[in-house]
Each structure stands twice: as C-alpha cells, then as structure tokens.
Amino acid sequence: MPRFLPIPHLRNLVASHFVPNRSSPIPIVARHTMSTLGTSSSRSRSPTRIPGPVETAIHEKLTEALGPTLFRIQNDSSKHSHHVAMRAQGGGNGETHFSLTIVSSAFDSKSPIARHRLVNGLLKDEFDTKGLHALSLKCKTPAEWEREIEKLQL
C-alpha cells in the first residue's frame, strides 16, 4: 500500500488531515473540488476580473480617506449566495460580501473596534443603498503589519 494517496496537480490545497491510529500518516485532502485539479497548461491562465461598482466604490472611498500603504480586497459574495437573505434577493448582486486587508497610519491609536467602525462608516452608503451586506476586516497600522510580516519570516 502506498504511503500517500496520489492526487495529481493539486492547487490551492485547502487543508490536509491525517488518518489517526496509523503507523505512517496518510494525508487526505479535504474540501477539494474539480476546479483545484488541472493540467499544467491550465495553471498559467487566469481570467481577468473586472471589479463591479460596489468594489470600485469601496476601493475609491477607502483609498481616499485612509491613504493606505496596503489595500487588498477580495469579493467573497459567491460563498454566501445560498444564504437565506441572499436567496431572497435572487442570490444578491454579486457584490454583497468582501474581505479587506487595510494597512494605514489612520489606524494609529485606534482600537480594533474603532477601526472597524471607521471603515463601516465610510461605506455607509454602500451598506444602505448598494447591496453591501458584510465585510471581513483586517485593519492594521504599518508597525503592526511589519511585526506580522516578521513573524511569518521566522
């Protein structure tokens, strides 16, 4: 019996688990889909994504107000389209849930909750009228971000 399960061309591995009570662990891939399997030629192609109006507004408003040294935005709406509130809207508009990573000196001397309130306040119009439903926020000062990077390099 082979030690490891053969899984060809795995990309974006979500997690691996080991079978307990075995002398040699056998990794088992959890939550992979056919989209994570592919040939080497499919890896080099990535579709160009055009941000929608809500994502564009988020980027413009937060960049102007906070002057971030780092700004990352990820549209997570497709992960939530099955929720009851989103189904009531026909799955939402495709721009309902976002994950943001923001590094800005505007967060200096602010608590984490004050940072979140600041970002949410800047996006009040998107929440009230444009269908924005939820944000996952990671708001750091430049010094906090540097410490986080140093931890990763150890």
69 close to 103: Cβ distance less than 8 angstroms:
yes
35 token code pair = 């989209």
96 close to 80: Cβ distance less than 8 angstroms:
yes
pLDDT for 14: 36
User: The pTM is what?
Assistant: 0.63
Lowest-confidence pick of 48-52, 67-71, 99-103: 48-52
Helices 53-66/112-122 angle, 10° precision: 120
Average pLDDT over residues 138-150: 96
Query: For 6-18, how does the pLDDT look when each residue is reduced to its tens digit (9 = 90+)?
Result: 444 433 333 333 3
Q: Residue 152's beta-bridge partner residues?
A: none
Query: For 105-135, how does the pLDDT look when each residue is reduced to its tens digit (9 = 90+)?
Result: 999 999 999 999 999 999 999 999 888 889 9
Query: For 52-96, how does the pLDDT look when each residue is reduced to its tens digit (9 = 90+)?
Result: 899 999 999 999 999 999 999 998 887 765 555 554 454 455 688
Distance CA 133, CA 74 (A): 14
Query: Which CATH architecture fits 53-153?
Result: 2-Layer Sandwich (3.30)
Per-domain boundaries in the chain: 1-46, 53-153
